Structure 1
Amino acid sequence: MLETQHTTSYYAASANPSPARPALQGSSETDVCVIGAGFTGISAALHLAEQGFRVTVLEAVQVGFGASGRNGGQIVNSYSRDIDVIERTLGADQARLLGDMAFEGGRIIRERVARYGIDCDLKDGGVFAALNGNHMKHLEAQKKLWERYGNTQLELLDDRRIREVVNTDIYTGGMLDMSGGHIHPLNLVLGEAAAFESLGGIIHEHSPVTRIDQGSIPVVHTAEGQVKARYVIVAGNAYLGNLLPQLAAKSMPCGTQVITTEPLSEELASSLLPQDYCVEDCAYLLDYYRLSGDRRMIFGGGVVYGARDPSNIEALIRPNLIKTFPQLKDVKIDYAWTGNFLLTLSRLPQVGRIGDNIYYSQGCSGHGVTFTHVAGRVLAEVLRGQAERFDAFAALPHYPFPGGRLLRVPFTAMGAWYYQMRDKLGL
């Protein structure tokens, strides 16, 4: 049964007011029809509206219903596979183009927040935390790599410094990225949607797309209407379903779980994360956490391959919370939810074109908050005839998961188990 409203998350409970947006009725025409009102779709729509395009966005449920309104809210730079992997795969020239965009998403977010006055609890600073010596060696290499591509806001943290920013004994060190940070993600996408509408953009909620008629003038159909457009942008990611089978074949929805505590006292909250940075560790199946604007601990982690909803999210995540912060052993959990992200075999995003006029971006593989904002700009550029940056992403090779759709979940889970064992053994 199709859901009709946001999940019961902390973000939905604390969302800024947003207008009701009617479902599509009847026929309309536009320059660009965007499918999906998450970060990718709204980012692209806003960039296009700023350039004078007529844009209509069709959303199956509500703005930010999917990963954009459920994620950890962390501004994490680069891609799920880093720039050095791209260098080895495609060479230095292609890596330079993609590397130049690796730190752009956070800048776009800050530009949007400042330009449109978006209230989303934006805070600067993100920490990558090392659980062992090998993690620390990785961070040392990552710092050199990122500095080579222009990120000069990095600081390595030794075992003393990490305890100054994260009050726990489980880390051996870390790296602070002041160009990272955190936000209330649902309020960010709601603010961007409002900015898009202020420029004349149209959003129809509760309008799931049933099919796309391809051709010189594509037609996007819903149950009660249709939109004719010069271009279509497909931005459904893990919530797209099988609308375009050729996209579903090379990706896999995965679930991640998040819990949120009751509000903490100011003294307790500031003792846990004194500088109010967000944190993610370096494990293969990582934990990530931060404080909300009203001093709750938002703690997430775990992956469910195939995106099934666990029966008891708190039971899965709370042990890691307490392992990290024993000080919270008696804290009450007010919210627990799951959200899906889209994984690719390469862990690199898939950006491309179907035919002459249907464009897509998907498969952020866990780095969606920043990459979706880059993707929105790149998609807007290619529709204006500036294809260089779009082509850099479109040239990335992508392959179906081994075993096809039937076996992709067990094969991927086996691979994850291997890397988890490496983490446990400190390898």
Structure 2
Amino acid sequence: MTKINIFPKLSVVAILLTSIIGCGADDKSDDLIKAVTLEKLRSEGTIIESVTIENAQTRLRVGDKHQLSATGIDSKGKKRDVTKELTWSSSDSDIATVSDSGLVTAIANSSADQGLVKITGTTINDISGNGEISISNAAVASIKLKQASSQTGNINTCIDAKINGDVSYTDGYISLNTIKDMSFSVDNSTTATIDSDGTLFTSAPSIEKTQITASIGTVTAQLNVTSDPKNLESINLLVDDVATDTITLNVGDRMQLKAQANLSNTDSTFNIDNSISWSQLNTDDYVGITTDKNNKGVIFALKPGSTKLIGQCGGKQKIATLEVKGDASLNTIQINDGESTLTLEPLKTIDLVLTANYTTTPTSLNVTEFADWNLNGSSIVEGKLINAGTKEALYRLTSKSSTNNTAVISVTYDGIISNTTINIE
């Protein structure tokens, strides 16, 4: 049997406790906690020896908030996020404050020294890291866009790519690696898309060039990015984070699909939920597939049957067998409570829900998302799908007319048509 000698560690802590208590227990509780914590970290080899403040060198204006983070290297040489372990401070709290979690709040614009404020994060063993934040309302002079990942060369098709930029201001300050206040767009000839966070999603089966435009007010910049699928080796379909080739559902079940890409030049796998496109082999629509970004890849079992589910990206496919079980047979459909006429106030909205009624369990399902809505050429209303991928899906109808008027709304689901008259009054 191996015996472990715990007395040296215990004696160190005991000495610490004795020395601190001897100095007056009530006034030294913080010192006691600090001493014990330090000794614990030292014994584990996890005490931090260096700190780097990240996401700094950014320009803010009064009222803006900006989250800093911190990475520490411990005595074993391992990196970890120490953002919440630090004591944070600001060199000028009249201009900018910082919370216990590293959240900076801009209090006042300053024209002195480009509005610079030093933010410091300090560990329990007094190791510090610094970062600078600028608080000023100086105007943007120029933007230099760049690839954040990959930093150079072509990007891998289907793999999320981050875009950010360095922003120069009229007072000479340069904000690094930022997307603050930027709006993004891509050229009309590309199949790629970009979101408000500067993440580029690509899916073309061959090499594709995309021009990205970023704007801050009237100041714009362009960046040309090339996506290449040559390293895309295969795609996996995941359910509950497990790769699968077969999916079985009951009518009324809802399931979130995930997609994973494998590249030939790395052992790492990549989430490609935002880039992959999903479809089913036939047109019988045994399941509805959500394409909306927020819940993309959610499937909803609509009627019994078997089909093939296909995921495609970058010229690669993943095919899974899909079976929907049950005896449900569609009987009728209805808009809201089945009213033939609904009233909508001028310039207001009304929410429409399409319910499919079945002869057996489940007796009814919300199929709003998977129906074809038709405004019948009306220009006095407009419609938008809300809450796609959930059981709360609805079709929000908005009146564009400020006077009394009438519109007829039609909806088709599985070959059945329903109409309702909308009186704007």
TM-score above 0.5, yes or no: no
Q: TM-score range by the shorter chain?
A: under 0.3
- Higher strand share goes to which structure? 2
Higher Rg of the two aligned structures: 2
